[in-house]
Amino acid sequence: MRWSIRDVIMGAAVTSDPDLHAALHDHRNLHGTIPGPMEVFLVLSSAVSTPASGR
């Protein structure tokens, strides 16, 4: 598989554990892993225009 500049991995982390939530929150704040509006736009627009892999 060849990766390109447009390849992006995005997801969500969901937990009901308060300690894990605090750890994830701290990690996000320290490392700035919140996508900006342009990154979200590019992901959404490429998801619509690109066929799913394996089909």
> How many CB atoms within 10 Å of residue 43?
15
Query: What's the whole-model pTM score?
Result: 0.46
- Counting runs of H as helices and runs of E as strands, what totals does the chain give? 2, 0
pLDDT digits (tens, 9 = 90+) for 9-41: 777 788 999 999 999 889 888 887 677 888 888
